[in-house]
Amino acid sequence: MPFFCQLSRQGLAKRELRMSINTSPDSHLTRGYAIALASAAILSTTAVFIRHLTQAYGMPVLVLALWRDVFATLTLSLVLARLRPSLLRAEPQHLLYLVFYGVVFAVFNALWTLSVSLNGAALATVLVYCSVAFTALLGAWLLKERLGWVKLLAIAFSLAGCTLVSGALNSAARNVYIVGILAGILSGLCYALYSLMGRSAWQRGLDPWTTLLYTMGSASVFLLLVNLVPGEFLPGAAVQAADLFVLGGALFGWSLLFLLAAGPTVLGFGLYNVSLAYLPSSVANLILTLEPVFTAAIAYLLLGERLTGTQLIGSLMILAGVASLRAYESFAADPTRARSRRSDGTATTN
């Protein structure tokens, strides 16, 4: 289980040394891209579960988010207790950071829900994926990640592709309120913060799965408090305590909720956290813009929803953005080309 290894500060330094000796930069990037792509594919199934739970059972969205995080915390706790009990513990100096990380994740979910309710799913999707721009800019500022013209071009292609895939252009004539736009932009900012904090957590020596466990646990507590506030504090929250158990005795509904937590949530976000150990946060977040493409493909295969020509063009634009960045990163990581560039045309090359 290569991902389930406990990282201390000393262990992190040794691990980075081993990587620099035994792993080429290009293979390191390839592994990161593969993990991030798997994360995007798994996360894309989330919409199928949420659509059925909200439509068939009338489950409030924030109540669903609460149980999703609770079941994800329980599932990951049981898995880690069986496979690597040491990952259940976090150093005391990291606890405040992890609690704040969980609050960021919970606020992201709340803002995303509010954005969907005010803007509609299409525009909300485009607004949340402005996170790729936020992540690139904040990553360059806070984490000193490289920000070049190739990455900026890939971001532009992916954002344009998300706009076409989501169908946001078709809803441009609808009434849009400033509160909805603000909620959508802030949801993108929170998603960017989630990516940056995941990268920072790895740099602090935290294992990605320990980080996810404490993040989901903190988010569960925060969402419980939000749902217990009397009245409609947020659209989709519980109006009264009884709404927390809206599924009642519907065993199939509870089973779907558990599958949503154990599959897309634990594996999807878990693999995304792992990819942040291999890739800059801006690159990992950019790859996740493929999620709408995967969702559209799943909707076509399982729900019979056909892709329009515009959606196909948007999908190709996202793929082009990610592929061009991957090709550039591979080119930049080639030590032979790096030496050739440094020689700047001189006759002495090694």
Measured between alpha carbons, how far is 124 from 185 in angstroms, rounded to an integer? 9
* Residue percentage of the chain with pLDDT more than 90: 24
In this prediction the pTM is: 0.74
Helix (H) / strand (E) element for 238: namely: none
Instruction: Please give the residue that has the higher pLDDT: either 106 or 142.
Output: 106
* CA dist list (Å): 166 to 15, 81, 135, 314: 40, 40, 21, 9
Backbone phi, psi, residue 97, to 5°: -60, -45
pLDDT-derived band at 214 (thresholds 50, 70, 90) equals: very high
In a domain, 347, yes or no: no
In a domain, 6, yes or no: no
Which of 13, 52, 101, 120 has its CA nearest to residue 257? 52
In a domain, 41, yes or no: yes
Residues 6+ apart with CB under 8 A from 338: 332
Backbone phi, psi, residue 111, to 5°: -65, -35
In a domain, 17, yes or no: no
Looking at residue 350, its pLDDT comes to 33
What is the tens place of the pLDDT at every residue in 58-80?
A: 888 788 889 999 999 999 999 99
In a domain, 19, yes or no: no
In a domain, 316, yes or no: yes
Mean pLDDT of the 256-272 span = 91
In a domain, 338, yes or no: no
Q: Does residue 88 register a pLDDT over 70?
A: yes
Cβ–Cβ under 8 Å, residues 321 and 161: yes
Instruction: Please give the residue that has the higher pLDDT: either 125 or 244.
Output: 244
Which of 151, 130, 154 has its CA nearest to residue 140? 151
Looking at residue 22, its pLDDT comes to 44
Q: Does residue 15 register a pLDDT over 50?
A: no
What is the tens place of the pLDDT at every residue in 215-239?
A: 999 999 999 988 887 655 566 778 8
In a domain, 74, yes or no: yes
Q: Does residue 190 register a pLDDT over 70?
A: yes
Domain of residue 183 covers 24-332
What is the tens place of the pLDDT at every residue in 296-342?
A: 777 677 666 666 777 778 777 877 777 777 777 666 655 555 444 44
Torsion, Cα 92 67 257 265, to 10 degrees, reads -30
Q: Does residue 108 register a pLDDT over 80?
A: yes
Classified as helix, coil or strand, 306 is: coil
Q: Indicate the number of domains in the chain.
A: 1
Looking at residue 163, its pLDDT comes to 72
Q: Say how many C-beta atoms besides its own lie within 10 A of residue 348's C-beta.
A: 5
pLDDT-derived band at 166 (thresholds 50, 70, 90) equals: low
